[in-house]
Structure 1
Amino acid sequence: MSTNYAFIGAGNMAKAMIGGILSSGLAAPDCVTASNPSAPKLDALKEEFGIRTIQQGNAKAAAQADVLVLSVKPYLYETVIAEIRDVVKPETIVVMIAAGQTLSANETRFGKPVKLVRVMPNTPALVGEAMSAVCFNANITPEDRTIVMAMLNSFGKAEEVPEKLMDAVTGVSGSSPAYVYMFIEAMADAAVLHGMPRKQAYTFAAQSVLGSAKMVLETGMHPGELKDNVCSPGGTTIEAVASLEASGLRSAVIDAIDTCVKKSQEMSK
């Protein structure tokens, strides 16, 4: 039997997830439904993917879902759950993708036994390269886990973590694309300073970051070892590395992620 997926909210993350589900063959377009107040957003999803759409139809979408993704802003969770809790089936898997939304808080909002999954994806989902962390409540079965992990891996990579690490995940992957974009921009600025055209500089910088990340993931080597392999004695790279160390690159990154994690912890209270 086909799995029916429903999305409440039709923003960029919902679009990325829908694209992954369809391109991986997990579901056909007629098994995916999106509900949203905005008709233009729904029309765009319908035109691109051929899915079913419902304007202002959260309860209807929730009632027919086997997997229900709450793709709305954190402050809307209380309102949306109040709207759908009476129609969500006991066997429906409810996936939450908003920062700061804990399993226990939303179990209380449903006011009945519910299968809840908390996910922290990131924006590279839009190009099929998300890094998603996931944790499950006690009602999730092994079969449910398989369904959820297949969905998450359809638009990137996913790993299960204990819920207590979700704030750390926010710092190291949820928010980190912004740090990486700043690094790419800075590298490109330096290349422009030395005469390279801006567009070409972004290509060189971005592709170098992409390739370096693949080296870490695919070789399994420690990043420090990979760095050492590029640093020839007395060469150009070790001069640059020494300059970065003198400027406090490592401590700046650690401080930034620490600040991000602490903000996430405040939001989760």
Structure 2
Amino acid sequence: MEAAELRVGFVGAGRMAGGMARGLLRAGKVPASSILASAPSDRNLDAWRDLGCRTTHCNLEVLQESTLVFLATKPHILPGVLQEIRPAVGPHHVVVSLAAGVTLQKLQRAGAMVFARGSGASDEDAALLQNLLTSCGLCEEVPESYINIHTGLSGSGVAYVYLFAEALAEGAVKMGMPGGLASRIAAQTLLGAAKMMLETGEHPAKLRGDVCTPGGTTVHALHQLEKGALRATVMNAVEAATKRACDVGED
């Protein structure tokens, strides 16, 4: 389906939906006039109008006007929304649940997404979705059992990285560097490391080893991190977030 033919709807107009819409617009995947978003009030819709998108307070109107519909509500609201829109879902619709089917970092750029297709979704549907979502960042099709793991790894993982970046910068501040400069350098350091992982495809342990000079500064610093059980603590954090995502899904 060509971008000019595609009509994209969002039931829910919060940060996640907004970030995805901006990614689609930046990549030229769909014109703003072909995007329709719904929300109960105007609180979140003004930003969509500024982008040139259409808005409504009626969820059913989104189904009536769209061929691809993203359900971008919070998980506890989703069952009620599904019951409301079910009568309007037709064979021409591709319906994607962001709450239960796709997880997206709350970023406008360089997000990491996974999706799992339902039994009624075709190869064409999956290809369409992946083509659109790659405009927002990395996108992979996975088994449904990976969805909650992705939440623990990437959805919540953004916060782990911010915490680590904060600690990096504060370490430099402790040693006498101004805070603003330390934060910028910490961010650039994380960006460079992430790009190296993606561009080389090497295991992070290999890249870490390449940085270590025998008897040098890095290996001494890594020794301190190992004494603080950094790896085990981060693994425990991913496990805790994954388990919580499973619990929320069962509520």
2:10 aligns with: 7
1:28 aligns with: 31
> Partner amino acid for 2:42?
A
1:108 aligns with: none
SS at match of 1:136: coil
Distance 2:242 2:73 in 1: 21
1:53 aligns with: 55
Is the 2:115–2:140 Cα contact (8 Å) retained in structure 1? Answer: yes
Distance 1:80 1:42 in 2: 18
Q: How does 1:126-137 map to 2 (within 5 A)?
A: 126=108, 128-137=109-118
1:113 aligns with: none
> Partner amino acid for 1:25?
G
Question: Does the alignment pair 1:38 with 2:41?
Answer: yes
Distance 1:40 1:244 in 2: 44
Q: How does 1:112-261 map to 2 (within 5 A)?
A: 118-124=101-107, 126=108, 128-261=109-242
TM-score when normalising by structure 1: 0.89
Distance 1:178 1:196 in 2: 24
Identity of aligned residues (%): 38
Distance 2:40 2:134 in 1: 28
- Gaps (5+ residues) in structure 2? none
How many residues of Structure 1 are paired with residues of Structure 2 in the alignment?
247
1:82 aligns with: 83
What value does the CA root-mean-square deviation take over the aligned residues? 1.2
Is the 2:33–2:53 Cα contact (8 Å) retained in structure 1? Answer: yes
> Partner amino acid for 1:181?
Y
Is the 2:75–2:249 Cα contact (8 Å) retained in structure 1? Answer: no
SS at match of 2:37: strand
Structure 1 runs of 4+ off > 6 angstroms? none
TM-score when normalising by structure 2: 0.95
> Partner amino acid for 1:171?
G
- Gaps (5+ residues) in structure 1? 102-117
